[in-house]
């Protein structure tokens, strides 16, 4: 309905003042037409009821009224099609002329109808121009003056003054209305500008955000690792497509569920289930471990997400990354089985060589001369050395693969010493060295440790000491530090010692102390590296002190655990 009236009343022109005036003029024109039509209806009904339709006055009135209606519509047409100014001028003139015929010259010039001429004065400032009110004041004044003179009456000076005062008032009000509207338009324009700028900025930032979010989503979608993001209650809030193929589950089964539901999935091995429960129940450390899912091995890394802006670093949840580790796990399994096979396959023939050489030396098949026994001894020594090297290499390989583990059990320190003596007394004696051992009385009879590994540490240290000592003794001491709840192993020799420059490096893999003499000692330089790694695995520490020409002291300190 509003649109209908808008179409009827509005004139689409660029100048807002012109448009406003033409709209007002249209309203007045249509109002006038309406009034004329009502008047026409009144005349017709009135003359019908009184039977005066055919009277010449009535006919004239009807003709005049209809002409006025068409004239008004014509002005409306001019207003719409051509010019608001001309239409307004025409209308005002028509109005003024019409007023001329509405009453007697006496009444118009000096009586009750004087006021009629104020109407064009007031309207003209609205629909034509603010200044036009003066024009119509002048016109009105001219008309009443002319009429007054034509009937020999004095000119009504007060009416003329009144017309001009009204014109002044109309002009002022119209002008202030126009300037107010002008200001309003400027304000509107500024407002429009601001709104436009804000809208543009908002659109840009939204676009940026979309690009950013899209980029993050693209990254998440395209990485090969499966990603699940959990809130702090371990509800999965986000997962990428890779996790779906990795777990071979529809994404709905993963997202918007609690992780505990996924952990109960039958594809997960019992051991893996335990690991995952441990992860969600002790969620303080960044973790990385492997799980078995169906036929796959997956490595799982979890990282807590904190909001550092908040007080006390609020935990927002956890990002878990699942990586397909099946191939790597298979390679590792093959590698460790390879290591096991190599270990067995290398040692068995060496064992046979050692055995046969011993049979020679022991003259099992008849007497041997001194040279033959000597040769057998050399075979034995070299085979033992080779065996030691293989053992070291295998240990090193296992440590690198993270396969070397510590198995705790009850250990008798005294038995440890006995074993070392039974293994190495002869080796020391062969070099005319004394191998002695002592033990702090306070050391418990039984401690918890890894017996074979402790023995390996001692064998490595003592063998090394024997190797680099030409005269004197090797002393083993097992000590007790009750105040620290620690115990330890100390191996002291009177050998050639280690140059100070080499001390920081002696626990490095494949390291031998530089210098001609040491090269002749053979070995890969793995012995001390293995010792250090074993000590680390036992949560202990190893230190060395040495003075060239005086000897060396290796000290290992271990946590003391008793049964």
Partner 1 sequence: MSELALIIEDDLDLADIFAEALRSVGFTVEHATDGKKAQERLLNGEAPYLILLDMHLPHISGGQLLTDILKKDSRFDKTIIIITTADARMGEAYGDLVDFVMIKPISFVQLRDLTARLKPPQ
Quick one: 164 or 356, whose CB is closer to partner 1?
356
Kindly tell me the number of DSSP H helices and DSSP E strands found in the chain: 18, 12
Q: How far apart are CA 266 and CA 292, in angstroms?
A: 11
Min dist. Cβ of residue 371 to partner 1 (A): 20
Min dist. Cβ of residue 227 to partner 1 (A): 39
Quick one: 409 or 482, whose CB is closer to partner 1?
409
User: Shortest CA distance to 540 belongs to which of 453, 464, 476?
Assistant: 453
Quick one: 198 or 385, whose CB is closer to partner 1?
385
User: Shortest CA distance to 127 belongs to which of 32, 21, 31?
Assistant: 21
3-class DSSP state of 526: coil
Q: In what order do the strands lie in the sheet with 236-239?
A: 236-239, 226-231, 314-324, 296-307, 287-293
Q: Residues interacting with partner 1, by CB under 8 A?
A: 343-344, 347-352, 354-356, 358-359, 362, 364, 387, 407, 409, 451-452
3-class DSSP state of 28: helix
Q: What is the DSSP string of 176-220?
A: HHHHHHHHHHHHHHHHHHHHHHHHHHHHHHHHHHHHHHHHHHHHH
Q: How far apart are CA 489 and CA 417, in angstroms?
A: 11
Quick one: 17 or 455, whose CB is closer to partner 1?
455
Quick one: 390 or 544, whose CB is closer to partner 1?
390
Q: Which 8-state DSSP code applies to residue 83?
A: -
Min dist. Cβ of residue 447 to partner 1 (A): 16
Q: What is the CB neighbour count within 10 angstroms for residue 548?
A: 13
Specify whether the CB–CB gap between 412 and 451 falls below 8 A: no
Tokens of 534: 């074993």
Min dist. Cβ of residue 364 to partner 1 (A): 6
Min dist. Cβ of residue 282 to partner 1 (A): 30
Q: How far apart are CA 163 and CA 121, in angstroms?
A: 8
Min dist. Cβ of residue 458 to partner 1 (A): 14
Specify whether the CB–CB gap between 287 and 302 falls below 8 A: yes
Quick one: 256 or 348, whose CB is closer to partner 1?
348
Quick one: 362 or 438, whose CB is closer to partner 1?
362
Quick one: 183 or 362, whose CB is closer to partner 1?
362
Min dist. Cβ of residue 538 to partner 1 (A): 16
Q: How far apart are CA 370 and CA 360, in angstroms?
A: 11
Tokens of 82: 């051509």
Q: What is the CB neighbour count within 10 angstroms for residue 541?
A: 14
Min dist. Cβ of residue 559 to partner 1 (A): 22
Quick one: 267 or 347, whose CB is closer to partner 1?
347
Min dist. Cβ of residue 452 to partner 1 (A): 4
Specify whether the CB–CB gap between 445 and 463 falls below 8 A: no
Long-range contacts of 264-271 (CB under 8 A, 24+ apart): 267/293, 267/294, 268/292, 268/293, 269/293
Quick one: 350 or 545, whose CB is closer to partner 1?
350
Min dist. Cβ of residue 228 to partner 1 (A): 38
Min dist. Cβ of residue 347 to partner 1 (A): 5
Quick one: 122 or 387, whose CB is closer to partner 1?
387
Percent helix / strand / coil, the chain, rounded to 5? 60, 15, 25
Quick one: 78 or 357, whose CB is closer to partner 1?
357
Min dist. Cβ of residue 275 to partner 1 (A): 24
Whole-angstrom CA distances from 78 to 84, 123, 214, 542 are 7, 18, 59, 110
Min dist. Cβ of residue 276 to partner 1 (A): 29
Quick one: 233 or 407, whose CB is closer to partner 1?
407
Phi, psi of 391 (to 5 degrees): -60, -45
Q: How far apart are CA 476 and CA 462, in angstroms?
A: 8
* Residues paired with residue 492 on neighbouring β-strands, in sequence order: 475, 553
Q: How far apart are CA 466 and CA 436, in angstroms?
A: 12
* Residue 121 CA, distance from chain mean position: 71
Tokens of 286: 């960044």
């Amino acid at each position: 309905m509003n649109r209908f009236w808008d179409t009827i009343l509005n004139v689409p022109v660029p100048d807002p003042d012109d448009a406003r005036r033409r709209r007002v003029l249209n309203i007045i024109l249509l109002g006038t037409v309406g009034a004329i039509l009502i008047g026409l209806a009144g005349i017709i009904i009135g003359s019908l009821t009184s039977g005066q339709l055919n009277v010449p006055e009535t006919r004239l009135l009807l003709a005049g009224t209809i002409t006025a209606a068409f004239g008004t519509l014509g002005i409306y047409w001019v207003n719409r099609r051509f010019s608001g100014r001309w239409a307004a001028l025409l209308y005002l003139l028509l109005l003024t002329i019409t007023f001329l015929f509405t009453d007697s010259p006496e009444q118009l010039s000096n009586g009750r109808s004087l006021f009629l001429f104020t109407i064009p004065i007031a309207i003209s400032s609205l629909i034509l121009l603010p200044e036009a009110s003066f024009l119509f004041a002048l016109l009105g004044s001219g008309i009443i003056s002319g009429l007054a003179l034509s009937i020999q009456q004095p000119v009504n000076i007060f009416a003329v003054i009144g017309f001009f005062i009204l014109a002044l008032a109309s002009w002022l009000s119209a002008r202030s209305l126009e300037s107010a509207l002008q200001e309003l338009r400027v304000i509107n324009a500024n407002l429009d500008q601001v709104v436009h700028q804000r809208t543009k900025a908002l659109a840009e930032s939204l676009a940026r955000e979309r690009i950013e979010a899209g980029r993050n989503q693209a990254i998440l979608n395209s990485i090969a690792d499966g990603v699940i993001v959990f809130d702090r209650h371990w509800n999965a809030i986000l997962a990428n497509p890779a996790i779906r193929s990795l777990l071979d589950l529809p994404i709905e089964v993963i997202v918007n569920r609690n992780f505990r539901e996924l952990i109960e999935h039958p594809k997960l091995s019992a051991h893996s289930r335990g690991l995952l429960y441990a992860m969600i129940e002790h969620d303080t450390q960044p973790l990385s471990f492997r799980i078995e899912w169906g036929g796959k091995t997956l490595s799982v890394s979890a990282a807590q997400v904190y909001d550092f802006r908040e007080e006390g670093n609020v935990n927002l949840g956890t990002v878990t990354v699942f990586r397909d580790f099946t191939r790597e796990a298979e390679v590792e399994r093959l590698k460790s089985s390879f290591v096991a096979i190599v270990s067995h396959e290398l040692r068995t023939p060496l064992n046979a060589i050692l055995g046969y050489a011993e049979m020679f030396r022991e003259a099992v098949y008849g007497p041997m001369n001194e040279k033959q026994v000597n040769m057998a001894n050399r075979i034995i020594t070299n085979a033992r050395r080779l065996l030691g090297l293989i053992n070291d290499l295998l240990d090193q390989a296992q440590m690198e693969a993270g396969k070397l583990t510590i198995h705790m059990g009850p250990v008798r320190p005294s038995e440890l010493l006995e074993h070392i003596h039974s293994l190495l007394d002869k080796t020391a004696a062969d070099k005319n060295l004394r191998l002695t051992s002592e033990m702090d009385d306070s050391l418990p009879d039984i401690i918890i440790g890894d017996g074979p590994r402790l023995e390996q540490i001692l064998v490595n240290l003592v063998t090394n000491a024997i190797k680099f000592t030409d005269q004197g003794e090797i002393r083993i001491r097992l000590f007790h530090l009750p105040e620290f709840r620690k115990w330890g192993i100390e191996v002291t020799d009177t050998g050639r010692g280690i140059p100070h420059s080499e001390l920081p490096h002696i626990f490095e893999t494949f390291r031998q102390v530089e210098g001609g003499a040491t090269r002749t000692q053979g070995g890969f330089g793995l012995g001390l590296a293995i010792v250090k790694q074993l000590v680390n695995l036992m949560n202990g520490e190893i230190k060395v002190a040495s003075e060239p020409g005086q000897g060396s002291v290796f000290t290992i300190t271990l946590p003391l655990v008793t049964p």
